[in-house]
Structure 1
Amino acid sequence: MENLTIANKHILIVGTSNYSSKLSEIDSSIRTSVICRASEMPFLHRAQNHESIIVIKDDASTEQWIEYAKNLHRMDPIHQISSFEELDQDKASAIAEALNLKFHHSDTVRWVNDKFEMRNRLIECNFENTPARLVNSIEHIKDFAKNHSYPLILKPSKGKSSTGISIINSEKEIESAFLLSDSATAPRLDHSTLMIEPLLEGREFSLEILSENGEHFIVGIVEKHVDPVSKVEIGHVFPAELPDNIENEIKKYTVDFLNILNIHYGITHTDIIYTNEGPKIIETHLRPPSDKLPELIYDSIGVDCIQYVIEQEAGLLIKEKIVKQINSTNKSSKSSAIWYSYVNFDGILESIQNKDEIKEMEGVAEFSQLISDGIHVSRLSSSYSRIAFVRTIHSHADQALLIAQKAIQNLLMFLSVRGTSY
């Protein structure tokens, strides 16, 4: 990718994102338009700053998205397609191909956003042989279980935010797992066919990588802490503390994986698990990481992942700058962590009464309440079930994590629940 210096460059952003407004900070001549589904409109950031906003009904066909984009292109030529979130990235790819503009290939988007298609791609390339099957009935799951050992994991093939995940440890759990996963809903999540596969077990990590012209620059490895029942992420630590040989093995494996999916540019957030057979892929994403991971990385090593994403989308080359910064960082200088609060019952969050006390604790960089007072809370079933978080900084990873966990334990959360008759 070459530096693009088109005067009044016009970028069409597919979907909504807070990041889109940052493009003009890189180059004030950049103009942006947005095309998004109607349900995304409440999430559109600084709508008044965009040249055009095209709103399409949620069930519109890909062909309709393309036609609306073509009409805009005829009136105001589009120079680039951008998308900062996974919802409707398939539309972004289709529009880019129709207008002969750069974006991730439609195959890459399909492999990334459909976990079943990703598994098939990895098997096809003899990279990884984790078996998986699409299922739409209890009998389909039982049939898969006959040939594979428990535990199994059932989840939406195009899921997000750990929604609809069920762990199956025996045949007697299949029916309840199917009902839970099949009925799961979450904001900004399209329904998709369920898939079943063996549960991979081990330490979990995510790799944050920036790519340019097919080269991959690893910013770092995050260690993930996941609830064993719901598989919802409840904490992270950066950088992950690993022996050099395992760290190098994970890095090489992930880079090879990105190459197999033909990912050539942009940021990726790849989840892997280190099993007793070595690293295995869980999933990847063509978007910046969530859960405050960019902040954890910046606090620890000073690398601003989001800034690099914006610069790249603005048309700037990032290789020289990112390589220099990564090579100059001392990854052991600081560690950062985040931990989330949640409950194991349904109720109403009345209040959190010691927020100021938590914010003033030594080592705490940020406290945030995610669910407002008076709102229903539920047992941990997705990332949206989490109530609050604490983000911390310390010279040692274990202490950063401990401070975050203790702060969450010290939260004075007042909740009300309905009585239940037995």
Structure 2
Amino acid sequence: MPEHVLVIGSGRDLPTRLRRSRAGTRTTVVCRLDYLSKLRETTEHTRIIGVRPEAPAEEWTELAEAVHARDPFTRIVAFGERDQDKCAAVGRALGLAAHSPATVALVHDKHAMRVRLREAGVDSTASAVVSDVDELRAFLAAHGTPCIVKPAEGSFSKGIALVREIDEAAAAFGRASGELGDLHGTEVLVEQFHEGPQFSVEAFSEAGEHQIVAITRKYSDPRNFVELGHVSPAPLEPAQEKQVHDYVERILDALGIGSGATHTEVVLSDAGPRVIETHVRMGGDEIPALAHDVTGVDLAECLIRHTLGEQVLPDIRATLAAPRTPRSSAIWFAALPAPGVLAEITGLAAAREVPGVTEVESLVGPGAAIETLESSASRVAHARAVAPTAEAALAAAREAIGRLTFHVGVRAADQGAL
């Protein structure tokens, strides 16, 4: 029977790949009105429904039910981060396989995730939701520093601050609760900070069975933890790699994640792995591309096949077990030290000539407003490279970024910040 897939959100090129992967597959998209401009090949969808951003899950469900009554869906998927709660609610209402609302709630609510992992004996990291600076100071006094203060819900590494002294509490609370504008009114989460290198773990699950595909070392800005670069595979000893594998699988089990692609961020502390957060989606920052470079596993293709009901774990495991020449793949990002308006980027051709470099891309165009590094959306370009070692791949990607020149005009409103 031909598939009719309900896609929640935009999904970039994945809905197109979904339709092309099997003859007769159709897609209907339900997404926020502000995501309509992100849709690709719009005329190829069977229909597109735009929903106001503040619409409750019940409205999304009613719209999906109305279409389902006329043109039944066979599958449902949310490829991105936002509105996975809507996907879970609609899936349950229509009897389509999706993550449960309870699992999505645990993944999106970072405090609820912490509580669940403590209850399950997986991770003992102390945390609390605080409503004002006094509550934040009380947590710091009880649990000590350093601690991380961040929005209880959020993405793009926005609003995160490291607090090493109690007198930093007020500034950190302001940053997490609304200093960046679109975070205004969000709850603030404080949690113990674990020192150590940080890693991203890409996994795929079917019927409650998990397979770790890749571990990527990540490099972040020490002030606000925005990612500046990644390299895969992470340079880990076999015992450390196994420790991370086992730990992440326990996290997925505790949160009830039994299917699909996941992206989990951990820190390898002196006491062992400790989770930063997890997501029921593929990683961003081109991490799936890095994983593909070094393992041969195409996570996007696996997710598409999985969405259409195919079993993919055997193929993933066969690919991981196949002989391959060891190599590393890295990405590095550019960010600017001052705000302004981008006029142009020069040096792209020279950057692409660096040995080992596979891609150099600008992330903004002429006329774009540039801000200093406050979130992952602040970054202006990236370079990817492949080399025999992690050090060589990172060096090539960073050299490529170093060959770029950004011509920026300073806005009058920003002159006081310089």
The verdict on a shared fold, with TM-score over 0.5 as the criterion, is: yes
Distance 1:392 1:113 in 2: 32
Match of 1:51 in 2: 46
Match of 2:166 in 1: 171
Match of 2:104 in 1: 109
1:112 partner letter? V
Q: After TM superposition, give the deviation of residue 174 of structure 1 in Å.
A: 1.6
Determine whether 1:420 maps to 2:413.
Answer: no
Q: Deviations over 1:361-413 (max 9, x none)?
A: 21110001112223222221100111111100111111111111122223222
SS of the equivalent of 1:161 reads coil
2:216 partner letter? V
Answer whether contact 1:163 1:186 (CA < 8 A) is retained: no
Q: How many residues align?
A: 414
1:147 partner letter? A
Assess, with a 3 A threshold, how the Cα gap between structure 1 residues 88 and 120 changes in structure 2: closer, same or farther: same
Distance 1:246 1:83 in 2: 32
Match of 2:78 in 1: 83
Q: How does 1:309-328 map to 2 (within 5 A)?
A: 309-328=303-322
Q: Deviations over 1:41-76 (max 9, x none)?
A: 111222211112221111111111111111111111
Match of 1:391 in 2: 384
Determine whether 1:368 maps to 2:364.
Answer: no
- Give the one of 94, 97, 110 matched to 1:99: 94
- Give the one of 19, 23, 27 matched to 2:18: 23
Distance 1:120 1:25 in 2: 42
Answer whether contact 1:163 1:184 (CA < 8 A) is retained: no
Q: After TM superposition, give the deviation of residue 186 of structure 1 in Å.
A: 7.9
Unmatched runs of 5 consecutive residues or more in structure 1: 1-6
Assess, with a 3 A threshold, how the Cα gap between structure 1 residues 88 and 184 changes in structure 2: closer, same or farther: farther
SS of the equivalent of 1:420 reads helix
Match of 1:295 in 2: 289
SS of the equivalent of 1:271 reads strand
Determine whether 1:401 maps to 2:397.
Answer: no
Assess, with a 3 A threshold, how the Cα gap between structure 1 residues 124 and 36 changes in structure 2: closer, same or farther: same
Distance 2:69 2:184 in 1: 31
Match of 1:260 in 2: 254
Answer whether contact 2:326 2:388 (CA < 8 A) is retained: yes
Distance 2:144 2:408 in 1: 40
Distance 1:382 1:174 in 2: 20
Match of 1:140 in 2: 135
Assess, with a 3 A threshold, how the Cα gap between structure 1 residues 421 and 9 changes in structure 2: closer, same or farther: closer
Q: After TM superposition, give the deviation of residue 339 of structure 1 in Å.
A: 0.6
Match of 1:3 in 2: none
Distance 2:2 2:180 in 1: 41
1:393 partner letter? V
Q: How does 1:188-199 map to 2 (within 5 A)?
A: 192-199=186-193
Match of 1:336 in 2: 329
1:268 partner letter? T
Q: After TM superposition, give the deviation of residue 312 of structure 1 in Å.
A: 0.8
Q: Deviations over 1:12-43 (max 9, x none)?
A: 11111121111122212111111112111111
Distance 1:354 1:421 in 2: 27
Answer whether contact 2:178 2:184 (CA < 8 A) is retained: no
1:226 partner letter? S
CA RMSD of aligned residues (A): 1.7
Q: Deviations over 1:166-196 (max 9, x none)?
A: 1122122222222222224488x89631111
